[in-house]
A and B are shown apart, each in its own frame.
Chain A
Amino acid sequence: MYLWLLAVGLTLAFGVLGVLNFAHGSLFMLGAYAAFTFYGKIGLNFWLSISLSLVSVGIIGAILERFFLRHIYRLDLPYQLILTFGFILIFDDLVKMIWGGVAMIPPMPSFFEGNLFILGRVFPFYNIFIIFAGVAVAFVLWLILEKTWWGRMIRASASDREMASAIGINIPFLFTSVFVFAAMLAALGGALGTPVRVVAPGIGTAMIVQAFVITVIGGLGNLKGAFVGALIVGILTSFGILLFPVFELFIIFVVMAIVLMVKPEGLFGK
């Protein structure tokens, strides 16, 4: 589920801005650290922590876009990937500097502790919450894109940037806002993940490749695809662990390779 949020942010950034952001995983990680700091260290309310972490990462995203990404839109792919890779390095170390390199385990908010018994299986309460949260976010996302004026602008720009700018859409502002939104999605993923996952440097990097897999399978720039892609990857991972415990990672990449070779635009791509 966190993977999905990350993937959605990634695919959104690519679809509208045309930039493949390697450092998106780092934004995820920053979201996790921020939430951990607000909630675990300072002891703020859980919901408040998440909101604050969203805001802080959003600001970082804005700075990234405004001052750095803006210059590489017209550049070739290699430069984009390399620039964003540079940021991964920076953020990884930054995180080590501020919080230390040790993996930390954040506490679980008390009202989420405990498990639910469904169909004879144990489901941690939190996981159920995550699922609902995911669905809620998906719904909100859909609402925003279909119903709001901003959403419509995004969709317009995604399909034809020049035309959009010609009819007066303020592209720079739109781009910044989209990136900030994508960053916040990633941060949300990271933040929501804190109670059940370890917070450590490099968690973003570990996930970014799988996020790539999802976006490719679903189609770069396609949100519906990202959702389906995440589902597929999730299912494959679970089955993989069951059936081929050694090779579950391998299988994901095989699927990605097959999709790339057969229908590179992804399952839902144009």
Chain B
Amino acid sequence: MAELLRTEKLRKYFGMVGAADNIDLQIKEGVLTSIIGPNGAGKTTLINLLTGNILPDSGKVFFNNEEITHLPTHKRVKKGICRSFQIMNIFPKLSVFENLQIPTFSLLNQSLSFFKPVRRHTDVNERVEKLVNEIGLADKKDHPAGTLSHGDQRLLEIALAMAPEPKLLFLDEPTAGMNPVERVKVLENIRRLSGEKKSTFVIVEHDMDIVFSLSDRIVVLHRGQILADGKPDEIKQNEDVRKVYLGEEILWEKV
């Protein structure tokens, strides 16, 4: 399996707080990885560093063996890295269809084309149709995104991250705030898409059910460092991990 992403001694300090402390991480293609850890462990910071939202104090990031440490976000997307957000980042005033058109136009390098009306771009529109059907929002495609239910907005958020057809896709708490039905829907989608092997998923999650049922590999973060890294069974047995989740023993026992 090819190595997609690699970090070397990645560091990011906010004042005295080490949000990322000398992190060495490798992400392999096709391996669905989950990143877990108690609050404040540095999960979102890590994703921010890897996707270009913030820049590290020191250390390097490599994608397909190419250094991307200081590459701006939109260039990383073009290289094949994308993410969804914990806090919703959809285009509320645009329709669902339009929301997905924007990254698709970018994918086909037509974002700056300014003469032909949008509806005439059949190649883009076909792809968006397919995407909307895949994610299950076809019946709402002309609704303004801001009027969707929370769960549907989250689906849209994930679809937006998938639209650029990235090789590596980070999902930051994709099921946050969803009810069980919506949660299952998202799960199914992720499982299916991961199975299709088009994108490699890396998920940050708090819901242990999802983490353990979905992941091929789990990385545990604690205070900016990697505490444990391995297959779900190994992690379940890991003493350090259990200690760190002390307060959440009950949650842990369930698993």
Q: Does chain A touch chain B in the assembled complex, meaning CB atoms less than 8 Å apart?
A: no
Interface residues of A (CB under 8 A from B): none
Interface residues of B (CB under 8 A from A): none
